[in-house]
Structure 1
Amino acid sequence: MADEAAPQQPQQPVPPKMQVLGQFIRDMSFENVLAQKGVQGEVQPDINVEVSLDAKKRSTEHQYEVTTKFTVSSKNKASGDQLFLLELEYGGIFHIENVPEDQMHPFLLIECPRMLFPFVRRIVSDITSDGGFPPLNLDTVDFLALYRREIQRRATAEKEGQPVS
């Protein structure tokens, strides 16, 4: 009878749990074109950064692998000549619990890359510096905006009947 008199407490939602189990460079390439070919005249670098993301479920329960791919190219503004090209695939293994299934995709492609980004920034800075250029400190990437643009691109492609890649 005492149980009937006690009001039911609403259950508190369980917060998501995320743990980084490991991080690694999957692939990296740095080409110092300036050193190979040389450049005439004044050099004014124009930096372009492209980011792509991928995530997949691993065979172990609650584990996911997230890969960020950064392509950083620098060209001379005056001539358009390539100065350097850096391609970096950086991955992380994550243990994730208490995230609803319908929120897992954005969680993997927004929150996980946010955790990896400071390490990517450091690698890019070190590689460009070691490659003979001033260290490149990448601007912070808005992974939420990047995710939204990709969802919009896929929706537009589906409407137009184009294959979504």
Structure 2
Amino acid sequence: MADTDDTVPAPDATAAAAEGTPAPEQPKMPQMQVLGQFIRDMSFENVAAQKGKTMDGQPDINVQVGLDARKRQQDGQFEVSVKLNITAKAKGGEEPIFAMELDYAGIFAIQNVPDAQMHPYLLIECPRMLFPFLRRIVSDVSRDGGFPPLNLENIDFVSLYRNEITRRAQAQAAAAPTN
């Protein structure tokens, strides 16, 4: 069996080669590599147990999400953190049953992302990569804290990013002096 090259060059490359001009470069795909993940800070308080109370029924769970990203000294490396503040209260009650704070971070090597798209990439794609691990930690810690495992719903990081951009724009417009 003879080795044959069955690949067909792209039409642009064929035309460019026939004319003697170089073929246009295909845009490079973004590349992300997770170099490390870690818990920066975590606390869990079983308030109900401390006060000698028991939980009746399903609690009301409130999850607040914060995102942060910064460039590291190494070229092309970034640190992205997802901060969760979770409180559970008895339905109709004001007293918390438990409270959890978690700051989970990842170190990423990112290539081929234009500067104009780096900010949304860091605050959308990187947290998406961290989320399954974050979900597992929340589930395990809530279970180990004496409650049923808390399985977080998926977080829409695109909406979270858009809402934050809108909030910042409104804050800047409100702070801008009017003439």
Give the TM-score, by structure 1 length: 0.92
Amino acid at match of 1:84: F
Query: How much does 1:7 deviate?
Result: 5.2
3-state SS in 2 of match to 1:123? helix
Does residue 61 in structure 1 map to residue 75 in structure 2? yes
Q: Which residue of structure 2 lines up, in the alignment, with residue 88 of structure 1?
A: 102
SS at match of 2:175: coil
* CA shift in 2, pair 1:80/1:98, >3 Å: same
**Structure 1 unmatched runs, 5+:** none
> Paired residue for 1:11?
25
Contact 1:43–1:78 (Cα < 8 Å) also in 2 = no
User: Which residue number corresponds to residue 36 of structure 2?
Assistant: 22
Deviation at 1:81, TM superposition (A): 1.6
In 1, Cα distance between equivalents of 2:84 and 2:71: 21
Equivalent-residue separation in structure 2 for 1:143 and 1:76 (angstroms)? 28
**Counterparts in 2 of 1:1-165, with a 5 A limit?**
5-6=19-20, 8-39=22-53, 42-161=56-175
CA RMSD after TM alignment = 1.6
Deviations 1:11-33 (A, max 9, x none): 11000010000000000000000
Aligned length: 160
Q: Which is higher, the Rg of structure 1 or of structure 2? A: 2
Quick one: distance in 1 between partners of 2:123 and 2:111? 15
Q: Is the 8 A contact 1:44 1:78 kept in 2?
A: no
Deviations 1:94-124 (A, max 9, x none): 0001000000000000000000000000000
1:5 Cα deviation after fit? 2.6
2:55·2:97 contact (CA, 8 Å) conserved in 1? no
Same amino acid, percent of matched pairs: 59
Segments ≥4 residues shifted beyond 6 Å: none
Alpha-carbon distance in 2 for matches of 1:42, 1:64: 44
Offset, 1:80: 2.0
TM-score normalised over the length of structure 2: 0.85
Unaligned runs of at least 5 residues, structure 2: 1-16
